[in-house]
Amino acid sequence: MNQYRELPRLDGESLASLFEAAKADELAVSKPFRMPLEGNGEGGGFSGLITSGRIAVGDQAVLLPGGERITVTRIGGPGGALEEASAGDKVTVFADAPLDASAGQVLAATDDQPSVADQFAAHVIWSGGEPMLPGRLYRLEMGPQRARATVSALKHKVRPEDATHEAVTTLVDGEIGYCNLSAERPIVFDGYDDNPAMARFDLVDRQTDKRVGSGLIAFALRRATNIAWQALEVNKGARSELKGQRPCVLWFTGLSGAGKSTIASLLEKRLHAIGRHTYVLDGDNVRHGLNKDLGFTDVDRVENIRRIGETAKLFVDAGLIVMVSFISPFRMERRMARDLLEDHEFIEVFVDAPLAVCEERDPKGLYKKARAGKIKNFTGIDSDYEPPERADIRLAAAEAGVDEMVETLLGDLERRGLI
């Protein structure tokens, strides 16, 4: 398939018809064989619902991702053994050799295999109460296939009345967009113009478990298949051992003026004095370089934290103790940053100071400007802050002094065996 072809201009009606086609068994029967696995069946078979095509005893199939080939020796259905099964049938397929299969893998025709990629282009109908935010982690569900995924780029919105395109930065409820998506692991799929039954997916909010969007995959992005991870001789463990410390991230979150940067700076000074290798990623400083192209809309804030989370991960891989001082107003993005690291490597520090206290301090005069309408999207004034529900460390910044709070942090790092 030409991955750079011009996409059809899908309006609301034609996209909806494709969604219906994805569920139509009579259409799916004529397509290549696909069976996403729901788990191992009794007796060592593979159980699942056939989404397209047919399979018969004696046929060959391939297990994806992975590529192991099998020959079908038996098919079990609800009423007993079958010689053949087709789209819409829920069956257990038995093979000529044992395989280590698991839910989410896909059995497919060997002579007409689906795509396997972790990046792809798709049309999405958004249905979430909150807007789509590119860069935010959602859960992609495609039958039994599950993976965390982000909208890496929102190319345009599709106007349903005439299928024309409009450049946008987000989607709201009921809008259709054409996007690039990036998943944490390879997904098995077909493009919607080849096999709609294997193109349909849902996006789910990871906090509420509610579906916020439905999509149809157009094609794999070529860059997803020509990039491989480069193994290096010196790893994180070796770098940490050389420094005599265990790397971690202390992620300071709280309102502007709560004292995050002051605490992080003094903590680094104290750690440096005892010979620890550290680095501070400060919100204002990073916006002078790495994130100088970002503003303060919700979309930009999500991308801001995504970049910093990935940067902090690199510094941890280098063996450093990293202090990240960012307002980071959204729980979802702080969770995304945590998920990038191992369990013991991420410490969320809530610098808890009431809005009234932060506004009274106002060290940079930002609250005064925000109240006067000179700064838009200012956290705590006209943009929300979502406080941590279960921070690893809470610092009562309106009550305790900076030295006392730093002592609390040093004590916690010692108890965790990090210094």
Residues with active-site annotation: 328
Output DSSP code: residue 245.
Answer: S
Burial 207-245 (b: 16+ CB within 10 A, else e): eeeeebbbbbbbbbbeebeeeeeeeeeeebeebbeebeb
Give phi and psi for 42, each to the nearest 5.
-65, 140
Cβ atoms within 10 Å of 369's Cβ, excluding its own: 14
Which amino acid appears at position 94 of this protein? Answer: F
Backbone angles phi, psi at 194, to 5 degrees: -100, -40
- Is 75 in contact with 27 (CB distance < 8 Å)? no
Residue 121 · residue 110 · CB < 8 Å? no
How many beta carbons lie within 10 A of that of residue 311, not counting itself? Answer: 17
Q: What would the two tokens of residue 310 be?
A: 């990935």
143-153: burial string, b at 16+ Cβ within 10 Å, e else: bbbbbebbbee
Compute CA distances 27 → 55, 83, 127, 175, 344, whole Å.
16, 21, 27, 27, 50
């007993």: which residue's tokens? 80
Question: What is the Cα–Cα distance from 366 to 343, expressed in whole angstroms?
Answer: 35
Asked if residue 119 lies in contact with residue 224, where contact means CB atoms within 8 angstroms, the answer is: yes
DSSP3 helix / strand / coil % (the chain, rounded to 5): 25, 35, 40
| Sign of the four-CA dihedral 215, 218, 222, 226 | positive
Q: What is the identity of the amino acid at 108? A: A
